[in-house]
Amino acid sequence: MVRRIVVALGGNAILTDDPTAKAQEIALETTAEQLIPLIKDNDVEMVVTHGNGPQVGNLLLQQLASDSPKNPAMPLDTAVAMTQGQIGFWMGQAFTRALLKNNMERVPVISVVTRTVVAADDPAFEKPTKPIGPFYDEAGVAEMKAQYPDWVFVEDSGRGYRRVVPSPKPTRIVEAAAIKPLISSSVLVTVSGGGGIPVIETPSGYEGVEAVIDKDFSAAKVAELVEADNLLILTAVDNVFVNFNKPNQKKLETVTMAEMRSFIEEGQFAAGSMLPKVQAAMEFVARTSRPATITSLENLEDFLTNDSGTKIIP
């Protein structure tokens, strides 16, 4: 029986300490190679989504450096579209090479430029939370605020300060109906890059808005709409933990929705890192009654053989 899995890649799958295009292409080649076991000897249809926070932030800085009436910087929604295409190209190249390297059929690898509908009155527009771009120390933040006084910065998990922008919840994927036939045709599909290009619905069509959608929440919506059997959220650790980094730390394996809700009420998961992944996984489980798993790229083979990672069930 064919299983359909939506895979949400974390930023560590793309961006390294070297932000050049070549370095990011090489990182994605490694990522593609790690994902091949999912489809090599298993009846699995794989759909891949990915983040773009670092890339879209860096692109905005590049544009602002040369901003002029003759060469104006593009708005945030357009920058999301640009980086979605950029990373989609790199992923197409990486997966094609990985398929050839593993002597697999050279199936089409397609990246779909994807629009994600959000509500115009989403409260997230009044409270920016989504980190984009590089990290800054305190001196760097002061310098950036002097240049761009409207920008908002927050401390990010002890790693420095980053600019944050609105991150509304996805309500619909515009291209979902077109994506499903591609998956059924054994096409390897990359969709909803960077959470999708944020748009609001208007009487005359769709209008882009200044925001970056969380890729895990968007992945949950994609997984729901393409009727995936499993949502697989990949991050830097093999499992979700409670009492993380404490003497009584405990890894979570198979966990019910009720148990996860209790852990959230206890404040077990960091708001800037694990909490949104857990919440996105729970949204998929709640809407579909199908499981969602949070684990790492390095743990994929164990996930396939032992169903390892943190598996959330109804």
> Which are the catalytic amino acids?
11-12, 130, 215, 277
Residue 162 forms beta bridges with which residues? 154
Give the C-alpha separation, 278 to 255, whole Å: 11
| The one-letter amino acid at 186 | S
| The one-letter amino acid at 37 | P
Give the C-alpha separation, 89 to 93, whole Å: 6
What backbone phi and psi angles, to 5 degrees, belong to 294?
-115, 120
Residues in the chain: 314
Give the end-to-end CA distance of the chain in Å, rounded to a whole number. Answer: 22
Nearest CA to 49 out of 243, 241, 179 is that of: 179
* Sequence-ordered list of residues with C-beta below 8 angstroms from that of 115, at least 6 positions apart, any chain: 173, 174, 175, 196, 197, 199, 206
* Cα 48-129-209 angle, rounded to 5 deg: 70
